[in-house]
C-alpha cells in the first residue's frame, strides 16, 4: 500500500481539516451516521507482525479510537475481544468484519462496563474466547459537555467516573490473574488530564485520575513483568463529540482552533501509539503517557 501509516507527508495536510456540520445523536451514537465518518485506518493501516499471537481485550472497540486500535491490532497479528454497548452492534460489526478479513479472531462482548459484575464477566469471556489474555486496552469513555458545574448532575458525575475510572480499575483487577510477565496494559487519558476544558469538568477530572492511576499501577505491576502505559489523545474526530461531548455549535471548528497543526486528528492516527505500547518494541517503557495531540505541549 503506498499511502499507509509509514508514508512521509506534511502532518498538517496528511488528513483533511474537517469542518463538521452541526450534528447530534443520543449517546452512545453510531459512528456510521456521522458526517464525515471518522477514519479508522480501514484503507491505510498496514501491519508488519508486531503483535503476532497476542490476545487483546479492547474496550470501546466498536468506534473511534478503540475501533482503530482493534483494526490495527488485528493487522499486526493479534486476536481481539471487543467490548462495546449493545446499541453499538452495527459499528462493532464493521470492525469485526475487518478483524476477520485480517485472518484474526474477533470475540464480540457487548455489555455495560459501568456494571461491576459485567466487568468481571467481560474479562472471563475474553479469556475464554481468546484462549488467554496478554493485553488489556481500556479505551471506552464517557464525555458530556456542561457549561457550568451546577448543570452537572450527581448522576452524570457518577456515571462518568464509573465508565472512565471504575471500569478500567475493575477490568485490570479481573484481568491480572490471567496476565503473564510480558503482558501489557494501556489506558486512555486525554490532553484534558493536563489542560481541563472548563465545560467538561467531570470528564477532565477522570482523565487526570486515569493518568495518575496508571503511573502508580505501572510501578506496582512492573515488579510482575507487566507494563502499564497511557495514551493521551488530543481532539480526535469521533462519535463522542457529536453525542453531547462538546458544545454542538463549536463542531465546525472542532480541533482546528486548538491544535498547532490546525486540524483535528483521526482515530487512525492515534492507533499506532497503542500498537507501540503493546508491542515488544516498547519493552523499556512503563508508566509513560504518550501524548498524541497534534503538537500541544503538556507537562
- Binding residues (CB under 6 A) for ligand NAD: these are 28, 31, 60, 62-66, 83-85, 88, 112-114, 139-143, 163, 188, 190, 233, 235-236, 238-240, 267
Residue closer to ligand NAD (CB basis): 49 or 289: 289
Residue closer to ligand NAD (CB basis): 20 or 267: 267
Residue with cell 508488519: 48
Q: Which does 141 bind (CB under 5 to 8 A by kind): Mg ion, ligand NAD, none?
A: ligand NAD
CB of 91 to Mg ion, least distance (A): 5
Nearest residue to the partner Mg ion, using Cβ: 63
Q: Which does 137 bind (CB under 5 to 8 A by kind): Mg ion, ligand NAD, none?
A: none
Residue 280 to residue 182: CA distance in whole angstroms: 8
Query: Is-contact 146 152, C-beta < 8 A?
Result: yes
Residue 167, C-alpha cell as written in the block? 471500569
Catalytically annotated residue among 15, 45, 84, 203: 203
Residue (of 168, 163, 119) closest to 143 by Cα position: 163
Q: Which residues of 116-143 are buried (b: 16+ CB within 10 A; e: fewer)?
A: eebbeebbebbbebbeebbbbbbbbbbb
CB of 159 to ligand NAD, least distance (A): 8
CB of 193 to Mg ion, least distance (A): 22
Query: Is-contact 31 64, C-beta < 8 A?
Result: yes
CB of 64 to ligand NAD, least distance (A): 2
Residue 155, CB half-sphere, CA atoms under 13 Å: how many?
Answer: 0
Q: Which does 142 bind (CB under 5 to 8 A by kind): ligand NAD, Mg ion, none?
A: ligand NAD
Residue 148 to residue 189: CA distance in whole angstroms: 22
Quote the distance between the C-alpha of residue 178 and its chain's center: 22
Residue (of 201, 241, 182, 259) closest to 64 by Cα position: 241
- Determine whether 203 is an active site residue: yes
Residue closer to ligand NAD (CB basis): 166 or 280: 166
Residue 185 to residue 189: CA distance in whole angstroms: 13
CB of 197 to ligand NAD, least distance (A): 10
Nearest residue to the partner ligand NAD, using Cβ: 64
Residue 99, C-alpha cell as written in the block? 478483524
Q: Which does 235 bind (CB under 5 to 8 A by kind): ligand NAD, Mg ion, none?
A: ligand NAD
Residue 4 to residue 45: CA distance in whole angstroms: 6
Residue closer to Mg ion (CB basis): 63 or 183: 63
Q: Which does 251 bind (CB under 5 to 8 A by kind): ligand NAD, Mg ion, none?
A: none
CB of 85 to ligand NAD, least distance (A): 5
Residue (of 55, 77, 58, 78) closest to 66 by Cα position: 58
Residue closer to ligand NAD (CB basis): 47 or 255: 255
Residue ranges in contact with Mg ion by CB under 5 A = 28, 62-63, 88
Q: Which does 188 bind (CB under 5 to 8 A by kind): Mg ion, ligand NAD, none?
A: ligand NAD
Phi/psi for 292 (5° steps) reads: -125, 85
Residue closer to Mg ion (CB basis): 188 or 229: 188
* Catalytic positions: 203
Amino acid at each position: 500500500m503506498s499511502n499507509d501509516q509509514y508514508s512521509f507527508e506534511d502532518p498538517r495536510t496528511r488528513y483533511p481539516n474537517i469542518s463538521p456540520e452541526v450534528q447530534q445523536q443520543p449517546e452512545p451514537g453510531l459512528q456510521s451516521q456521522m458526517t464525515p465518518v471518522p477514519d479508522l485506518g480501514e484503507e491505510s493501516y498496514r501491519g508488519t507482525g508486531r503483535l503476532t499471537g497476542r490476545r487483546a481485550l479492547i474496550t470501546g472497540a466498536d468506534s473511534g479510537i478503540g475501533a482503530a486500535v482493534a483494526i490495527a491490532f488485528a493487522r499486526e497479528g493479534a486476536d481481539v475481544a471487543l467490548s462495546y454497548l449493545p446499541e453499538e452492534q452495527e459499528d462493532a460489526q464493521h470492525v469485526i468484519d475487518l478483524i476477520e478479513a485480517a485472518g484474526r479472531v474477533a470475540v464480540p462482548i457487548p455489555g455495560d462496563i459501568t456494571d461491576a459484575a459485567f466487568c468481571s464477566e467481560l474479562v472471563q469471556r475474553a479469556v475464554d474466547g481468546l484462549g488467554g489474555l496478554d493485553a488489556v486496552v481500556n479505551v471506552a469513555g464517557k464525555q458530556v459537555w456542561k457549561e457550568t458545574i451546577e448543570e452537572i448532575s450527581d448522576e452524570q458525575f457518577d456515571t462518568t467516573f464509573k465508565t472512565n475510572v471504575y471500569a478500567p480499575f475493575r477490568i485490570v483487577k479481573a484481568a491480572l490473574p490471567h496476565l503473564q510477565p510480558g503482558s501489557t496494559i494501556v489506558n486512555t487519558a486525554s490532553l484534558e488530564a493536563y489542560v481541563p476544558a472548563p465545560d467538561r469538568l467531570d470528564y477532565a477530572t477522570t482523565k487526570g485520575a486515569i493518568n495518575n492511576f496508571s503511573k502508580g499501577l505501572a510501578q506496582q505491576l512492573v515488579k510482575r513483568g507487566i507494563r502499564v502505559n497511557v495514551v493521551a489523545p488530543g481532539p480526535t474526530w469521533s462519535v463522542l463529540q457529536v453525542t453531547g461531548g462538546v458544545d454542538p455549535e463549536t463542531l465546525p471548528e472542532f480541533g482546528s482552533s486548538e491544535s498547532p497543526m490546525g486540524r483535528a486528528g483521526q482515530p487512525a492516527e492515534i492507533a499506532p501509539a497503542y500498537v507501540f505500547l503493546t508491542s515488544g518494541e516498547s519493552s523499556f517503557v512503563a508508566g509513560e503517557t504518550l501524548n498524541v495531540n497534534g503538537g500541544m505541549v503538556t507537562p
